Chains A and B, each alone.
Chain A
C-alpha cells in the first residue's frame, strides 16, 4: 500500500505539471478525444432517452406533430407483457447461459493455465477460434446439427439408440438456446479468466497443500477466494455480453417463441410493413440500459479492486501446475467435447453446406461461383474490412488518449470522462444501433445509410480500448514521461517516443480484438443497413433469407478464411504481453 501511496503522490504531481506542457497539439488531441468520446457514447444515448418520451406512435420521433409524452412508458410497462414475459425470459436466458459459459470457461482456463494438460498452446488457440466466427454462423451451424427432425446429431442419436420420432435433442427450446449461447460466449470469458489465473500467486495454495489439505479443499478455500476479484468481474462482463446477444435468440430462440430483450427490441424496430415503434423500443431499452449500467458499476468497482490486487501481488512468480493424474483422460475428453461442439462440427457443417446447399445433392462449387459473381459480395467484403479496420483504429486511438488524460491529467470533468470511457461496455449493441439510427435520423448530417454511420456506431466500444490502455499505462511509471518533458521534449515527442513504444503491444491487442468484434458484428449493421453499407454478416443473413443457403454458408466460410490469420497474430500478442 505504501508503494501505491507513493505512486499516487508522483502521479498527482505530474498531473499538476503536465497541463502546461501539452502544447497546442496535445491540447487539440486530448480535447478532441474527449469530445469524440462524448459524441460516440453520449450523443446516441441522449437521443435514445429523448425518443422514449416522444409520441404519438404513428409519427417518427422527429416528425412535425410529434410531442413530449409519457405514453410510451405507460404503454410498454403497463400495457404489454414486457414485465411478465420478456423480462423473465431474459433473466432465465442470461442466467442460464452465463452459468454454462462460466462453468465451461473456468474449467478450460483452469485446465490450460493451472494443470499439466498436454498440447496447451494448441488448445489455447483452438478455444479462441469461435471468437472469430459470427454468432449467426454458429447459430446456423448448430441448427443444422441439432434440429429435432433432421439435425445430424439427432439423426445419429436416433440411429444409435434405436429411437423413433423426433429428437431426442430439441435445439429450439430455452435449454437449447441457453446451451448454444453459453458455449458461444466461452472464448471471451476464457481469455479473461485465463489472465487472472496466470497472474495468481501460488504461495497460499502451496501453504495449504503443505499443511496437508486435499486439492479440492485448497481449490475451494484458497484458490477461489484468492481469484474472487478476477472471477467476479468476468462474471459480470459475461452477464452484460449475454444481455445484448441477438443472433442466438433470433435464430434458435425465436422458433420456440422465446421473446427476450434483444429480439423484442429488434421486432419493435422492424415491424416489416408498419413504421418502426421507435418510442416504445426506446422505452423498453431504458429498463435494460438501467440494469446494464447497474451491473457495470459493480463491474467497475470490482475491476478497480482487481487492478489493485494484481499490482501488489501479481509479479515475479510462475503459478504451480497441478498434475491431472487419473483425471487426465476426462479432462482431455471435456476439452475435445467442447472443441467438437464449438469449433469443429460447426466448421464442418458450414463448409459442407457451402458445397451442398444443405441438401443431400452432389457437392459443387456453384455457391462460390455465384457468390463471386454477385455484385453485392465484393463491396460487402470491402465494407467489412473498412468498417472493422477504421472503427478499431479510431477506438484504439481515442481510447488510448482518453486513458492517458484520465490517468495523467487533472481537469474539471475528469470523473465524467472516466465514466463515459467505460460506460459503453454496459450498452447492448442493439441499443447502440438503435440510438445511432435515431440520432442520425433526427440530425441528418448525410451519413445515414453509408458505411460511415457503421464506423461511428461500431466505435461506441471505447471501453475495450480504454481498459486495455489504462492497464498498460498503469504499468508505465510517470517518471519516464516527466524525464522527457524535463529534457525539453514536447508532448508529441513524449507520446511518440516514450509512451507509444511501451503501449504498442496493448494498442495492437486492442486493435485486433476490436477488429475481430467489428468483423463479426451483426446486430448494428442489421439495424443500420442500407444497400450502400452492407457488410458480410448482413449479406449472409440476406442470402439466408432469400433461400440461398449454400451461398450464405459460402459467405460464412469466406469470413473464416478472412479472419483466421488474425487469431494467430492475436495469440502472439496476448502471449507476448503475458511474458512481458
Chain B
C-alpha cells in the first residue's frame, strides 16, 4: 500500500505548479542587463522584458545569425529570432495586408527598404537619443543607418598575390584575366550601378560587356566559393570585404583588394509598425546602432560601418589606401536603380 502521508498535499501541488509555471516570468522579471549597458538602453530593456522576444528580418543569414547569442548576454530576458530571406519585402507587404504581423525589426539595404517605407510599414522613432546623428537617420526616423556592404574583388591566395590584382576596376579587363574571372549575378549589376554614378552608363556597360564577352567572366547564381574551391576561377569581381571574412571563416583562403573606388551599400534598421513586440524592437535597434554592437558586427559578421566618424579598422584601411568611397544615398538611389536595371539585363543575357 502506498503511504498516503508521503503524497504531497493538494496545496503543495498547486503551489509547485504555480511556481513551475511562473518560473520563466520570475526569471525574466529579475533578469538584469549586463554591466556597461547605457541608462537609455536599460530603460528600454525594462519595457521590453514583458514582451520576452523580438524577431528581425534580413536579406540573408550572415548579417543576423550572430545576434541572438550576443544579445542574450546583455539582455537575457529578451530572446531574438531571425529570418534571412531575399524576398522579405513582398512577404512583409503581403502579410501586413492580410493582417498578420510576424516581425518586429527590419534590416535591409536602403534600396531594399524603399518599397516597405513607401507603404508606411515602418514606425517613426527618434533614434538620436541612442547616439544616432541626423545624417544617420532616414525618413524622419523610419530607418537608421547600420553597417555598409563594401564592394571589393576577392582572389584565391593560393593562385594570386595582392600585387597581382589591379587596384583599378578597369584593370580587370586586361587580357591576362581571360577565363579566370567570375561574378555573382546579383552583385555584378549592383556594383555596375555604383560605378556608373562615377563613370556614366555607357562606359560601365562597355566594362561589363568586356568582362563577359572577352574575359569570359563566369556569371554564377550560386556562391563563388564553390568555384574558388574547385579551382575553376581565381578572382571574383563583384564581391565584398564581408564575403572574404565569411569565406575565410569557412576555411577558404581568399584575400580582398581595396580598389580606387569603393562602392558601399548602406544597410538600415527600422521598427515595423504594428510589431508584436514594439519595445523589444526598439531595444534591439538601439543596441545594434551602439558602438559596441557595430564592433561586434565587424568582428563576428565581417560587416563594418565605414562612414566618416567610424572607428572601424576597415574604414581606416580604405582611408589609408586613398580610395574614393561611393555611398548609397537617397539622392542617387533612383539613378542607380535605373542603371542597375539596364546592367542587369546584360548580365542575365536579356540585353
Question: Which A residues contact B (CB, under 8 angstroms)?
Answer: 58, 60, 62-63, 80-81, 85-86, 89, 144, 147-151, 165-166, 172, 250-251, 254-259, 264, 267, 270, 272-276, 357-359, 441, 444, 448-449, 530-531, 544-549
Q: Is B308 an interface residue (CB 8 A)?
A: no
Contacting residues, chain B, for A444 (C-beta < 8 A): 94, 97-98, 100
In the complex, chain A residues whose CB is within 8 Å of the CB of B252: 547
* Besides the known contacts A63-B93, A273-B59, A544-B223, 9 further A-B residue pairs in the complex with CB atoms under 8 A apart: A62-B97, A80-B350, A81-B350, A148-B179, A149-B232, A165-B179, A255-B218, A273-B108, A530-B85
Q: Which of A254, A546, A549 contacts B221 (CB 8 A)?
A: A254
B residues in contact with A58, CB < 8 Å: 115
B185 interface hit (Cβ, 8 Å): yes
User: Do residues B231 and A259 form an inter-chain contact, with CB atoms below 8 A?
Assistant: no
Q: A358-B229, A444-B98, A547-B247 are in contact. Are A172 and B93 (CB under 8 A)?
A: no
Q: Note all chain B residues with C-beta closer than 8 A to A441.
A: 94
A residues less than 8 Å from B62 (CB atoms): 546
Known contacts A258-B349, A441-B94: does B231 contact A150 (CB below 8 Å)? yes
Q: Beyond A255-B218, A255-B219, A258-B349, is A276–B90 a contact (Cβ under 8 Å)?
A: yes
Q: What distance in Å separates the Cβ of A568 from its nearest Cβ neighbour in chain B?
A: 33
Q: Is the CB of A357 within 8 A of B229?
A: yes
Query: Of B93, B108, B226, B348, which is within 8 A of A60 by CB?
Result: B93
Question: B350, A264: Cβ atoms under 8 Å?
Answer: yes
Of the listed residues B86, B186, B350, the one surrounded by the most CB atoms of chain A closer than 10 A to its CB is B350
- Complex CA distance for A172 and B212, rounded to whole angstroms: 13
Contacts of A144 in B (CB 8 A): 230
Those 7 A-B pairs whose CB atoms lie nearest each other, nearest first: A257-B349, A273-B112, A444-B98, A547-B225, A150-B231, A547-B223, A259-B349
Cα–Cα, bound, A273→B111 (Å): 7
| B347–A147 CB distance below 8 A | no
Q: Which residue of A lies closest to B59 (CB)?
A: A273
**Interface presence of B318 (CB below 8 A):** no
Partner of B230, one of A147, A256, A257: A147
Give which listed residue, A257, A358, A548, contacts B219 with CB less than 8 A. A257
Which residues in B have their C-beta under 8 angstroms from that of A80? 350
In the assembly, what is the distance between CA of A533 and CA of B97, in Å?
A: 21
Q: Which residues of A contact B108 (CB under 8 A)?
A: 273
* Size class of the contact patch on chain B: 35 or more
Distance between A421 CB and nearest chain B CB, rounded to angstroms: 31
Within 8 A of A (CB), among B306-351: 337, 345, 347-351
User: How distant is the Cα of A80 from the Cα of B342 in the complex, in angstroms?
Assistant: 11
27 contacts between A and B (CB under 8 A): A85-B349, A85-B350, A89-B349, A149-B179, A149-B231, A150-B230, A150-B232, A151-B232, A254-B220, A254-B348, A255-B219, A259-B348, A272-B86, A275-B89, A275-B90, A275-B93, A276-B87, A359-B229, A441-B94, A444-B98, A530-B85, A544-B222, A544-B226, A546-B61, A547-B225, A547-B246, A547-B252
Q: Which residues of B contact A (CB under 8 A)?
A: 59, 61-62, 83, 85-87, 89-91, 93-94, 97-98, 100, 108-109, 111-112, 115, 179, 185-186, 212, 218-223, 225-227, 229-233, 246-247, 250, 252, 337, 345, 347-351
Beta-carbon contact of B87 and A270 below 8 Å: yes
Flag if A272 contacts B186 (CB, 8 Å).
Answer: yes
Nearest Cβ distance between residue A286 and chain B, in whole angstroms?
A: 18
B179, B212, B221: most-surrounded residue (chain A CB, <10 A):
B221
Query: Which of B61, B231, B247, B337 gathers the greatest number of chain A CB atoms within 10 Å?
Result: B231
Whole-angstrom distance from the CB of B87 to the nearest CB of chain A?
7
Residues of A within 8 A of B230 (CB): 144, 147, 150, 358-359
Whether the pair A270, B349 counts as a contact (CB closer than 8 A) is: no
Say whether, besides A147-B230, A267-B348, A547-B225, A531 and B59 are in contact (CB < 8 Å). Answer: no
A316 to B229, CA, bound (A): 59
